[in-house]
Every structure is written in structure tokens, then in C-alpha cells.
């Protein structure tokens, strides 16, 4: 029995080495590859194409301008970029494909020097960054993290959470999230909205 097992193992290894040697020789000489190898290679290329579909895209305003000049200070401006992302709702467990946007801020001169065009695809990612300090002290309320339709500001022990979408060239960057503590307040607000919907649509 032991001799039989050793013989079968030897046969298997011999066949395996011959197949691999044939593949290597075919690659070197330019000959056709085995069908299973071609299918495997095709699958890898398909996967790469799927990844490329999720690029960050440069947009333009209604006037077709990529660099939008600030109304308050003509020396500064922004470029808006978008990306299709899968957003996971930690409260419900649902996933939703959503287009997110971010503003690349800077001086008009620096933004123009990027040479970005409408529809151009960029490497990188748009992430959501949350923090307890305002991103902009002059218009802090613009960046409040709001709990959906309730319009209630998410807070940590009474302090508001600020959230902003940011473009980064690092495709592996992750969102920076802060867990709010006013959970009960938000739940009650959602419950009230649902009750209101039932009353309007009995």
C-alpha cells in the first residue's frame, strides 16, 4: 500500500512539473498557452478593469470651468471631484453605491498648474474625515455631521461632530469616523418621522 501511494505521488509530481515547464516554454517561445491559463489571465484583467472603473473624476461647473474662483477672494478657488463608492450604514447594516464629491482647495494659480480637465480620471480616493474641531471657524455649521432626515447634529457629549469629504492621492486611505453619543435622541427623531409618515399615508 505504501509503495502504491509513493508511486501515485511520483506520477502526480511528474505531470505537474511537465505542465509548468510547458507553460514556461510556451511563454518564452510565444506559443499558445493552455486554455485554463488563458482563462485565469483573462479573469485577472477583468478584475483590474473593474478596479479602474472606480476612479476619481474631475468635474466642471455649469459654465464648463474646472477651476472655480471664490466669490469672496479671487485669488483662491476650488476644483470639484467625484467618485462612486460603496457606503456602509453602520446603523442599519445596508450598503449603498453613492456618488461622493470633494473640493480640492487652493490658490487659482496652484489649481491651474494641475492641468486637470473635465472628465479626467485621477488615481486616489475620496474619504470622509470626521473631527471635533471645525474645518473652518468662519462657517463651522456647514460641516456639521447630520443624522439624515432628522437634521439632528451628531454629537459627542454635547460637542458637534464635523465631517468633510477630502480627496487624497492614496487609494488605500480609510475614512476617519467618530461615533456619536446622542444615539437615543436620533432614534426618537427617526421614530417620530416614521410615525408621521404613517399618519400621512394610513
Contact 58, 79 (CB under 8 A): yes
> What is the average pLDDT score of the chain?
81
| Structural domain span for residue 171 | 125-202
Does this model's pTM top 0.75? My answer is no
Share of the chain above pLDDT 90, in %: 58
Last residue of a domain, one of 70, 88, 122: 122
More confident residue, 91 or 167: 167
Which secondary-structure segment (H or E) carries 27? helix 2-29
Q: Are 76 and 108 in contact (CB under 8 A)?
A: yes
Q: Which of these three, 105, 122, 139, is where a domain ends? A: 122
Q: What is the pLDDT of residues 150-171, one digit of tens each?
A: 899 999 999 999 999 999 999 9
Mean pLDDT of 170-197: 92
pLDDT in tens, 44-89: 444 444 444 489 999 999 999 999 999 999 999 999 999 998 877 6
* Within-domain flag for 25: yes
Joined grid coordinates for residue 187: 432614534
Dist CA 180 CA 147 (whole Å): 10
Which one of 122, 149, 177 terminates a domain? 122
- Whether residue 78 lies inside any domain: the answer is yes
Cell representation of residue 21: 515547464
Amino acid at each position: 500500500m505504501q509503495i502504491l501511494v509513493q508511486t501515485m505521488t511520483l506520477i502526480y509530481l511528474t505531470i505537474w512539473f511537465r505542465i509548468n515547464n510547458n507553460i514556461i516554454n510556451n511563454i518564452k517561445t510565444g506559443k499558445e498557452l493552455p486554455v485554463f491559463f488563458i482563462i485565469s489571465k483573462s479573469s485577472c484583467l477583468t478584475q483590474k478593469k473593474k478596479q479602474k472603473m472606480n476612479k476619481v473624476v474631475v468635474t466642471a461647473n455649469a459654465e464648463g470651468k474646472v477651476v472655480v474662483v471664490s466669490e469672496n477672494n479671487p485669488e483662491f478657488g476650488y476644483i470639484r471631484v467625484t467618485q462612486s463608492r460603496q457606503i456602509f450604514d453602520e446603523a442599519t447594516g445596508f450598503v449603498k453605491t453613492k456618488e461622493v464629491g470633494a473640493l480640492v482647495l487652493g490658490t487659482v494659480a496652484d489649481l491651474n498648474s494641475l492641468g486637470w480637465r473635465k472628465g479626467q480620471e485621477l488615481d486616489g480616493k475620496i474619504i470622509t474625515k470626521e473631527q471635533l474641531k471645525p474645518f473652518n471657524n468662519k462657517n463651522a455649521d456647514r460641516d456639521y455631521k447630520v443624522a439624515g432626515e432628522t437634521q439632528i447634529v451628531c454629537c459627542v457629549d454635547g460637542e458637534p461632530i464635523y465631517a468633510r469629504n477630502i480627496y487624497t492621492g492614496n487609494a488605500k486611505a480609510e475614512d476617519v469616523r467618530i461615533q456619536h453619543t446622542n444615539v437615543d435622541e436620533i432614534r426618537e427623531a427617526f421614530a417620530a418621522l416614521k410615525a408621521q409618515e404613517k399618519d400621512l399615508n394610513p
